[in-house]
Structure 1
Amino acid sequence: MRLYIAEKPSMAAEIAKCLSGPVSRKDGYIQTGGGTITWGYGHILRQAEPDEYDPKYEKWRAEDLPIIPQSWKLLVADSCQKQFEIVKNLIEQADEIVHAGDPDREGQLLIDEVLDFVNNQKPVRRILLNALDEQSIKKAIASLRENQDFFNLKQSALARQRADWLIGMNLSRAYTLAAQRAGHRTTLPVGRVKTPTLALVVRREREIENFKQADYFTVKADFQHSDTVFTAYWKPREDQPGLDTEGRLADKAIAKALLEMLQAAKDPAAVMACETTEKKEPQRLPLALSTLQVMAGKKFGYDPQIVLDTAQKLYERKLTSYPRSDCEYLPESQYEDAATILGNLSNIAHTELAGWSQKADTQISSRAWNDKKITAHHAIIPTVERCNYAALNETERNIYYLIAQAYIAQFYLVHVYDQTRAELEHAGERFTANGRIIKELGWKEVYGAEAEEKKEEDNGTLPAMSKGDQVEFLKASAEKKSTKPPTRFTAATLLAAMKEIHKYVKNPELKKQLKDVAGIGTEATRATIIKELIDRSFLREETKKKYLKPTEPAYLLVDMLPEEITYPDFTALWEDILRQMAEGNASLDTFLGQQARFATGLCNKAKGANIPLKGEYHCPRCRRGVLQLRNGKHGKFWGCSRYPACRGSFNDKDGKPDMPVRPQPQQQPLQQQKQGQG
Structure 2
Amino acid sequence: MRLYIAEKPSMAAEIAKCLPGPVSRKDGYINTGGGIITWGYGHILRQAEPDEYDAKYGKWRAEDLPIIPRSWKLLVADSCKKQFEIIKSLIDQASEIVHAGDPDREGQLLIDEVLDYVNNQKPVHRILLNALDEQSIKKAINSLRDNRDFYNLKQSALARSRADWLIGMNLSRAYTLAAQQAGHRTTLPVGRVKTPTLALVVRREREIEGFKPADYFTLKADFVHNDIVFTAYWKPQANQPGLDTEGRLADKAIARALLATLQAATEPATVSLCETTEKKDPQRLPLALSTLQVMAGKKFGYDPQLVLDTAQKLYEKKLTTYPRSDCEFLPESQQEDAGPILKNLSGLAQTELAGWAGKAEPLTKSRAWNDKKITAHHAIIPTVERCNFAALSEPERNIYFLIAQAYLAQFYPVHVFDQTRAELDYACERFTASGRVIRELGWKELYGTEAEDKKEEDSGALPAMVKGDQPLFVKASADKKSTKPPARFTAATLLAAMKEIHKYVKNPELKKQLKDVAGIGTEATRATIIKELIERGFLREETKKKYLKPTEAAYLLVDILPEEITYPDFTALWEDILHQMAAGNASLDSFLGQQARFASSLCTKAKQAAIPLKGDYPCPRCRKGVLQSRTGKHGKFWGCSRYPACRASYDDANDKPALPPVKEQGQG
Q: TM bucket by the smaller chain?
A: over 0.9
CA distance in 2, matches of 1:663, 1:520: 55
Q: What displacement does 1:453 show?
A: 1.6
User: In structure 2, what is the equivalent of residue 569 of structure 1?
Assistant: 569
Q: What displacement does 1:266 show?
A: 1.6
Q: What displacement does 1:662 show?
A: 1.2
CA distance in 2, matches of 1:455, 1:103: 41
CA distance in 1, matches of 2:234, 2:375: 48
**Greater mean alpha carbon deviation, residues 167-176 or residues 256-265:** 256-265
Other structure's SS at 2:430 match: strand
Other structure's SS at 2:477 match: strand
Structure 1 residue 36 corresponds to structure 2 residue 36: yes
CA 1:664–1:107 in structure 2 vs 1: closer, same or farther (change >3 Å)? closer
Other structure's SS at 2:187 match: coil
CA distance in 2, matches of 1:178, 1:664: 28
Q: What displacement does 1:663 show?
A: 4.4
Code of the aligned partner of 2:155:
Q
User: In structure 1, what is the equivalent of residue 143 of structure 2?
Assistant: 143
Written as runs of structure 1 = structure 2, the 5 A alignment for 1:410-559 is 410-559=410-559
CA distance in 1, matches of 2:92, 2:121: 10
Structure 1 residue 21 corresponds to structure 2 residue 7: no
Other structure's SS at 1:476 match: strand
Other structure's SS at 2:534 match: helix
For residues 158-210 of structure 1, what are the alpha-carbon distances to aligned partners after superposition, in whole Å with 9 as ceiling and x for unaligned?
A: 00000000000000000000000000000000000000000000000000000
For residues 612-659 of structure 1, what are the alpha-carbon distances to aligned partners after superposition, in whole Å with 9 as ceiling and x for unaligned?
A: 000000000000000000011111110000001111110001000001
**Greater mean alpha carbon deviation, residues 127-136 or residues 262-271:** 262-271
- Percent identical residues: 84
Other structure's SS at 2:21 match: coil
Structure 1 residue 379 corresponds to structure 2 residue 383: no
CA distance in 2, matches of 1:486, 1:232: 28
Other structure's SS at 1:234 match: strand
Written as runs of structure 1 = structure 2, the 5 A alignment for 1:194-213 is 194-213=194-213
Other structure's SS at 1:248 match: coil
Q: What displacement does 1:262 show?
A: 1.0
For residues 69-97 of structure 1, what are the alpha-carbon distances to aligned partners after superposition, in whole Å with 9 as ceiling and x for unaligned?
A: 00000000000000000000000000000
Q: What displacement does 1:265 show?
A: 1.3
CA 1:664–1:315 in structure 2 vs 1: closer, same or farther (change >3 Å)? closer
Q: TM-score, normalised by structure 2?
A: 0.99
CA distance in 2, matches of 1:103, 1:78: 26
Other structure's SS at 1:653 match: coil
Code of the aligned partner of 2:315:
Y
Q: What displacement does 1:363 show?
A: 1.9
Written as runs of structure 1 = structure 2, the 5 A alignment for 1:612-631 is 612-631=612-631
Code of the aligned partner of 1:263:
Q
User: In structure 2, what is the equivalent of residue 671 of structure 1?
Assistant: none
User: In structure 2, what is the equivalent of residue 245 of structure 1?
Assistant: 245
User: In structure 2, what is the equivalent of residue 669 of structure 1?
Assistant: none
User: In structure 2, what is the equivalent of residue 675 of structure 1?
Assistant: none
Q: What displacement does 1:454 show?
A: 2.3
User: In structure 1, what is the equivalent of residue 292 of structure 2?
Assistant: 292
Other structure's SS at 1:549 match: strand
CA distance in 2, matches of 1:88, 1:558: 45
User: In structure 1, what is the equivalent of residue 322 of structure 2?
Assistant: 322
Other structure's SS at 1:197 match: helix
For residues 119-174 of structure 1, what are the alpha-carbon distances to aligned partners after superposition, in whole Å with 9 as ceiling and x for unaligned?
A: 00000000000000000000000000000000000000000000000000000000
User: In structure 2, what is the equivalent of residue 674 of structure 1?
Assistant: none
CA distance in 2, matches of 1:193, 1:148: 29
Written as runs of structure 1 = structure 2, the 5 A alignment for 1:106-121 is 106-121=106-121
CA distance in 1, matches of 2:598, 2:363: 54
The total of aligned residue pairs comes to 665
CA distance in 1, matches of 2:603, 2:663: 41
Other structure's SS at 1:596 match: helix
Other structure's SS at 1:656 match: coil
For residues 435-484 of structure 1, what are the alpha-carbon distances to aligned partners after superposition, in whole Å with 9 as ceiling and x for unaligned?
A: 00000000000111101022110000000000011110111111100000
Q: What displacement does 1:664 show?
A: 11
Structure 1 residue 400 corresponds to structure 2 residue 382: no
Question: What stretches of structure 2 of length at least 5 have no aligned partner?
Answer: none
Code of the aligned partner of 2:203:
R
CA 1:110–1:531 in structure 2 vs 1: closer, same or farther (change >3 Å)? same
CA distance in 2, matches of 1:203, 1:394: 36
CA distance in 2, matches of 1:567, 1:116: 36
Q: What displacement does 1:516 show?
A: 0.1
CA distance in 2, matches of 1:80, 1:250: 66
User: In structure 2, what is the equivalent of residue 342 of structure 1?
Assistant: 342
CA distance in 2, matches of 1:663, 1:58: 42
Question: What stretches of structure 1 of length at least 5 have no aligned partner?
Answer: 666-678
Other structure's SS at 1:657 match: coil
CA distance in 1, matches of 2:191, 2:499: 17
User: In structure 1, what is the equivalent of residue 77 of structure 2?
Assistant: 77
Other structure's SS at 2:143 match: coil
User: In structure 1, what is the equivalent of residue 281 of structure 2?
Assistant: 281
User: In structure 2, what is the equivalent of residue 360 of structure 1?
Assistant: 360
Code of the aligned partner of 2:559:
D
User: In structure 1, what is the equivalent of residue 59 of structure 2?
Assistant: 59
User: In structure 1, what is the equivalent of residue 93 of structure 2?
Assistant: 93
User: In structure 2, what is the equivalent of residue 169 of structure 1?
Assistant: 169
Q: What displacement does 1:352 show?
A: 0.2
Written as runs of structure 1 = structure 2, the 5 A alignment for 1:590-601 is 590-601=590-601
Code of the aligned partner of 1:562:
P
CA distance in 2, matches of 1:2, 1:150: 20
CA distance in 1, matches of 2:5, 2:154: 16
Q: What displacement does 1:375 show?
A: 1.0
Q: What displacement does 1:270 show?
A: 0.1
Q: Which runs of 4+ in 1 moved over 6 A?
A: none
Other structure's SS at 1:424 match: strand
Other structure's SS at 2:272 match: strand
CA distance in 1, matches of 2:589, 2:284: 40
Code of the aligned partner of 1:68:
I
Other structure's SS at 1:444 match: helix
Other structure's SS at 2:323 match: coil
Other structure's SS at 1:153 match: helix
Other structure's SS at 2:447 match: helix
For residues 393-416 of structure 1, what are the alpha-carbon distances to aligned partners after superposition, in whole Å with 9 as ceiling and x for unaligned?
A: 100000000000000000000000
Other structure's SS at 1:87 match: helix
CA distance in 2, matches of 1:378, 1:664: 73
CA distance in 2, matches of 1:576, 1:48: 27
CA distance in 2, matches of 1:436, 1:659: 79
User: In structure 2, what is the equivalent of residue 676 of structure 1?
Assistant: none
Other structure's SS at 1:443 match: helix
Code of the aligned partner of 2:124:
V
For residues 97-132 of structure 1, what are the alpha-carbon distances to aligned partners after superposition, in whole Å with 9 as ceiling and x for unaligned?
A: 000000000000000000000000000000000000
Other structure's SS at 1:99 match: strand
CA distance in 2, matches of 1:648, 1:243: 60
User: In structure 1, what is the equivalent of residue 332 of structure 2?
Assistant: 332
User: In structure 2, what is the equivalent of residue 266 of structure 1?
Assistant: 266
User: In structure 2, what is the equivalent of residue 636 of structure 1?
Assistant: 636
Code of the aligned partner of 1:56:
K
For residues 345-366 of structure 1, what are the alpha-carbon distances to aligned partners after superposition, in whole Å with 9 as ceiling and x for unaligned?
A: 0001100000000000112111
User: In structure 2, what is the equivalent of residue 668 of structure 1?
Assistant: none
CA distance in 1, matches of 2:363, 2:53: 61
Code of the aligned partner of 1:187:
T
Code of the aligned partner of 1:109:
L
